[in-house]
A and B are shown apart, each in its own frame.
Chain A
Amino acid sequence: MNCTDFLAKLTDFFDGNIEPDLMSEVTEHLGQCHHCEVVVDTTRKTIEVYRGTEVYDFPDDLSIRLRSAIMARCEKSMASPDGKKKLKT
């Protein structure tokens, strides 16, 4: 397995979808190729950082304002005869 072959399998590798036969080739390549090892480690870290960080603030006042506006719209729609019919089906 070379680096191009490995990269083609990278998504499956992260998802744990590599067939056992191929897995030994992947592991062997990673043991020999420092560049691919770095790519795996830093890509994994990229995902972890995005998953572990609240990139966009969502303060309580925004939450309350949005929820209040949403519920007002929902209740208004329920008040119409059409709205009541929709939810009872």
Chain B
Amino acid sequence: MITGNGIVKTFKQRGSVLGGREVRALRGVDFSIAKGGAASFIGESGCGKTTLGRIIAGLETYDGGEIAIDGVPMSSLTPKQRQPHFRKIQLIHQDPYSALNPTRTIHQTLRAPLALRAKQTGRSRTWMDERAAEVLSLVGLDPATVLARYPHQLSGGMRQRVVIARALTVDPEMLVADEAVSMIDVSLRLGILALLKDLRERLGVSVLFITHDVATARYIGGDGDLYVIYRGQVVERGPVDTVIADPVHPYTQSLLSAIPVLHGLEQPGEQPVVPLEALEAGQDDAGCLFAPRCPFRGERCETERPLLRLTEGVPQEHACFYPERRSVIARPMSEV
């Protein structure tokens, strides 16, 4: 449904005395997400996954590369012509509270995009009200109780559902969930995740899940690709279960090793990888971006930057000269 090639994004920081500094948020990223499919982006904060998600949702510009939606290259369109395409992709924010206008009731919040839709498709007032009730039911909320409320009267989980309902009012083809559950209580997270999964099945909506919590990515996008992003570059990409069980890039292995092990319920992985402590690396040293922290770095890594590609014997794409499968994640106790 959407593909991107060589996406580059640079932020110019307006530094005061030192003059502007450039931050390479994305360094030539490729991605593709099928209609009704799923994808997940994982990485640490500042790696560029949020920026990429926002670019995909049309909320951020990009400085290089091509994006095509439903086969139509965006570069061939004017900014105004691009809007209806990007509108098919809706972003679900991390913070459900700031994503809703605190001075408007849920009904008012839903009415605005519905009014737009009604005008576009020539529908009536009654249709708007019915559709509002419909999207609320789709996300598991009772319209009668919720419509007249203000956001602060709803719990975090309910608010996030309202945000999803609002996204559904424009009949999107894809939802980008950026850390959509990290600010919600643990016991309620699964409900939202299950909802997103359900919407995929029922409405055929694709879901792009951006998170630092790999297990949640697996829950929704288990049948799609997992992209591991480090400092603006995709360092590993492949089917979710493959990357989790048999990661080959040292960074992926570090990330997965860092996931807390529920001792008593599971046992630690066999070969956990701990990255080295590194001082502030320069922006654009030649060589692999992860090299300063990589416990397995070789000579080649310091001078040449590996590109994302397939090599023999490894099912998933990776950006490493010395990929090696290591079993790092925790396993249930019963597997002993």
A and B found bound together: no
Taking Cβ atoms with an 8 Å cutoff, the residues of B that contact A are: none
